[in-house]
Amino acid sequence: MRLAGWMTTAAVLALPMAANAQATPRPDQLKFRELYKELVEINTTLSVGSCTVAAQAMGARLKAAGYPEADVKVVVEPKHPREGSLVAVLHGTDPKAKPILLLAHIDVVEANRADWTRDPFVLVEENGYFYGRGTSDDKAQAAIWADSLIRLKQEGFKPKRDIKMALTCGEESEGYNGIEDLLKNHRPLVDAEFALNEGADGLLDDQGKEVVLEVQAGEKVYQDFTLTVTNPGGHSSRPHGANAIYQLSAALDRIGAYQFPPRFIDATRGYFTQMQPRVPAPQAAAMKALVANIEDPAALKVVTADPMWNSMLRTTCVATLVSAGHAPNALPQRATANVNCRILPGTPVEEVKAKLSEVAADPAVAFTLAHEAKAASPPPALTPAIMGPINKQAAKLWPGVPIVPILLTGATDGVHTNAAGIPTYGVTGLFGGSDGDGIHGLNERMRVKSLYDGRDFLHGLIKDYAGGK
């Protein structure tokens, strides 16, 4: 799942998008289209689909390209036979060089045929777009990774470091998660110096021109807390001081009024620096002041008026579910609420829990984790070694287009690899419109030109990171 920094920032880049005409595809692009089509048309929804079938199909293509059986594995957890992952490796020539990991998920969000204009599991090319569930999220990048490994093998490319690939299942649903399983039980297959993943795209203007290319360096940690108040209750005709609903409501009001302090990481400092020339003057001045002093109250007021910018700057917590009482004529014996937090990378979950309890200011409100806490996910550093190849490859395809780092306020599988000590960067080179291109919704699409350009961009990027010839 992706939710990039520009998508809901209407004051900045909320622009309708028109497709550019795609030139006649090259022979290698048509061959890639066949791979992409096969992957999109394999239903990988949790309800009725199978990631295992998709993993086997991509694995078969790698083997047909010359990869030995030992370097292509479909990993299936026995209790989850339809949620298999594909891992593969192109071996490097320098055993001392640490590998890179190409990560993508192949499961997709549910899609009801009756609601869609076209069959969501038939790839349709129409008016400069590919339509189908997963055409963008995330089978575009997954197909590019598999295709790149095939191209590298056919080119006879000899990388200095191992190039590993993991196409996994479970990113779009709760429960079993393929990359978590691989990190825990098959770490040597995916261990790497750093990983490339989804999490950032590019933005097109209303003429189909590339405006901004994003690089995601860090994402928030998702955590739900359960707040509970209990008391003996009683007959509603005899109300008394203690009322679970009132107590919980008062605590939620205090939590709702609280804002966690703003904090920069490399990605957000870079974002608010580089976006200054691209926003209206009042926001630009506020961004400049904020970069100089993150506690500047006037600058904070202007910038955090935008919900997305506010979310990029601080941990956010919001009540999302409430339940209380057991009968209309009885005092409530129990009241509960779910508070959903999106926590800045590097902030411990227990620290957030303690702050919420402090803000609630009522010992009668019990705070518990609604699910197992995710490990702290430190943001990866935007070093010259990472940014240099991105700048180089982007300049070939999109000269003059600025590259802007972002903090992802949604979630991807990068939260797991970052937490496991594998710095993970969201970089795709896939440009789309500000409406999200139907990701998770109806009629998901990918601009044809964007897919082919992104494929060339990522292939060059892999070679630059891997070294060799």
Q: Summarize pLDDT for 62-88 with one digit per residue, the tens.
A: 999 999 999 999 999 999 999 999 999
* Buried-state track 421-453, b at ≥16 Cβ within 10 A, e below 16: ebbbbbbbbbbbbbebbbbbeebbbbbbbbbbb
Percent of the chain residues topping a pLDDT of 90: 86
* Buried-state track 254-291, b at ≥16 Cβ within 10 A, e below 16: bbeeeebebebbbbbbbbbbebeebbeeebbebbebbb
Q: Summarize pLDDT for 22-66 with one digit per residue, the tens.
A: 679 999 999 999 999 999 999 999 999 999 999 999 999 999 999
Confidence at residue 18, expressed as pLDDT on a 0 to 100 scale? 44
292 SS3 class: helix
Residue closest to 16 by CA, chosen among 205, 280, 214, 211: 205
Judge whether residue 222 has pLDDT over 80.
Answer: yes
CA 409, 444, 453: angle at the middle one, nearest 5? 80
Chain centroid, CA 193 distance in Å? 20
Q: Strands 221-230 and 431-432, how do they pair?
A: unpaired
Confidence at residue 410, expressed as pLDDT on a 0 to 100 scale? 81
Residue showing tokens 């998920």: 105
Burial category of 230 from C-beta neighbours within 10 Å (exposed 0-12, middle 13-18, buried 19 and up): middle
112 SS3 class: coil
Confidence at residue 305, expressed as pLDDT on a 0 to 100 scale? 96
DSSP E strand stretches across 49-109? 72-75, 85-90, 100-105
Judge whether residue 108 has pLDDT over 90.
Answer: yes
* Global confidence as pTM: 0.90
* Rounded Cα–Cα distance for residues 431 and 420 (Å): 29
Confidence at residue 166, expressed as pLDDT on a 0 to 100 scale? 98
Beta bridge partners of 337: 227, 322
Q: Summarize pLDDT for 430-460 with one digit per residue, the tens.
A: 999 887 888 999 999 999 999 999 999 999 9
**For range 268-290, the mean pLDDT:** 95
DSSP E strand stretches across 177-209? 194-197, 202-204
Confidence at residue 74, expressed as pLDDT on a 0 to 100 scale? 98
Amino acid at 414: G
Confidence at residue 22, expressed as pLDDT on a 0 to 100 scale? 66
Confidence at residue 376, expressed as pLDDT on a 0 to 100 scale? 73
CB 435 within 8 A of CB 6: no
Judge whether residue 219 has pLDDT over 60.
Answer: yes
Judge whether residue 127 has pLDDT over 50.
Answer: yes
Q: Summarize pLDDT for 238-259 with one digit per residue, the tens.
A: 998 889 999 999 999 999 999 9
- How many beta carbons lie within 10 A of that of residue 96, not counting itself? 7
Confidence at residue 17, expressed as pLDDT on a 0 to 100 scale? 42
Judge whether residue 4 has pLDDT over 80.
Answer: no
CB 308 within 8 A of CB 409: yes
- Alpha helix ranges (H) inside 294-412: 297-303, 307-313, 349-360, 384-397
Helix 281-292 crosses helix 266-274 at what angle (to 10 degrees)? 140
Helix 139-155 crosses helix 27-41 at what angle (to 10 degrees)? 140
CA-based torsion, 392, 394, 397, 401: positive or negative: negative
445 SS3 class: strand
DSSP E strand stretches across 239-385? 316-324, 330-331, 334-343, 366-369
Q: Summarize pLDDT for 338-394 with one digit per residue, the tens.
A: 999 999 988 999 999 999 999 999 999 999 999 988 777 788 999 999 999 999 999
Confidence at residue 186, expressed as pLDDT on a 0 to 100 scale? 98
Indicate the pLDDT class of residue 10, thresholds 50, 70 and 90.
Answer: very low
DSSP for residue 136: T
